[in-house]
Chains A and B, each alone.
Chain A
Amino acid sequence: MKNFQHSLQSLEAADTQVVGVSMDSPFANKAFADQIGVTFPLLSDWGGEVTRKYGVYVDQYKAARRVSFLIGKDGKIEEEQVDKDAIDPTKIVLACDRLAHKKQ
């Protein structure tokens, strides 16, 4: 999440809203956001309904897998990064820029 915070300016410049999601409570996520200096919302998918809907629920951990989706204004998935690749947001940022230019 920290890495997305570092890229937040360029993502917002590309007309993009960043949100994190986990199956923690909203209050735990707020404390986490404060601790690591994240200013975008960390949503709570308590119970994991959305996590399952996106197919990223890991039964072994009873939690979400680390996956980042870039969703376009039309609601279509434009880019996705999984597991270790999802730590570095570079590809997502590049895809955002591509998208922002395409739409202009």
Chain B
Amino acid sequence: MSKRKTMAAAAWLLLWALAAPFAAQPALAQQNKPAPPKLKVGDMAPDFDLQYFDGTGLKKVSLSQYRGKKSVVLAFFVFAFTAG
């Protein structure tokens, strides 16, 4: 192989090595993109039976207790004492 060809090959290799991580980036971003929740509009909401503390004691709340009576907003939040 001529010296010139070797140089060209090396340059390509270098270029490839530099570009590869960027080429892989979109695929990675796709992976990290959060999936939508598996429950969709129109699905039945699973029943739950949970407790909260009202200052004097633990009180129960279930989804079924509101069936036919009230709509329910069920707002999941990440951690107490964080904004949002």
Contacts and interface: CB of A to CB of B under 8 A. Distances in A.
Interface stretch (B8-16, B17-25, B30-38): B30-38
Interface in B35-84: 36-48, 50-55, 58-59, 61, 63, 66-81, 84
Given A21-B74, A77-B45, A96-B71, 19 more contacts: A16-B72, A20-B77, A21-B75, A22-B79, A26-B53, A28-B80, A35-B81, A43-B61, A51-B76, A53-B46, A55-B39, A65-B76, A66-B78, A68-B75, A69-B73, A71-B63, A78-B41, A80-B41, A100-B71
Looking at chain B, what size class is its interface with the partner chain? 35 or more
A16 B71 contact: yes
Nearest to A57: B76
B48 A53 contact: yes
B48 A50 contact: yes
Say whether chain B's binding surface is mostly helix, strand, loop, or mixed: loop
A83 interface: yes
A70 B80 contact: no
Interface of B: 34, 36-48, 50-55, 58-59, 61, 63, 66-81, 84
